[in-house]
Amino acid sequence: MVRTEISLFLKNVPGEMGKLAQLLGDHDINIDALTIQDASEYVRQLFLARGKSLKRIASSSSYQSMHKDSVDYALVRLLVNQTDKAVNLLAQEGFIFDIMPVITLEVENEPGKLAKITQLFGKKNININYLYGSALSENEKYLFVFSPENIEQAAEIFQNKNNID
């Protein structure tokens, strides 16, 4: 299933994630999935990506400055149950964020399931930029969030539920 992921920057200090979670909770927005990483890795990937396109996103010196400043921030990626409401709230509150489509899959939690899914991406020659997910216990389904290079092609793979069962 294609869903919209929100990526935003938070100050990398104690309590900031709590403030974000409280803000969303106060507005009845549930977080379905979440990952946090040091923003400097994200900025480094942007720097590497600039050479892969004809359009330069920023100069080398700009990236070096961004990379130096980025250690003070964390990159938070999340899925919520009310994306439009969350986006409006984050904009009102002055957050710096972006949205992008991702593939989400709820599948049985069993050995080899992730291998089967990721091999489907490989067979279609679709690179996975990043993924995250988890399960609560052995007997429950797990949720995985995939960010593929080609969202349309990746979505086609999973239209047929038999591909992941």
Q: Specify the fold of 2-99.
A: VC0802-like (3.30.2130)
**Domain pair 2-99 / 101-163, same fold:** no
- Domain boundaries along the sequence of the chain: 2-99, 101-163
pLDDT digits (tens, 9 = 90+) for 61-95: 554 555 555 567 888 999 999 999 999 999 999 98
- Share the mean pLDDT of the chain: 83
Alpha carbon of 88 to those of 21, 49, 82, 111: distances in Å?
15, 29, 10, 40
pLDDT digits (tens, 9 = 90+) for 14-43: 999 999 999 999 999 999 999 998 776 666
pLDDT the model gives residue 63: 45
- CA–CA gap between residue 27 and residue 82 (Å, rounded): 10
Q: Specify the fold of 101-163.
A: Alpha-Beta Plaits (3.30.70)
User: Residue 77 in contact with residue 146, Cβ under 8 Å?
Assistant: no
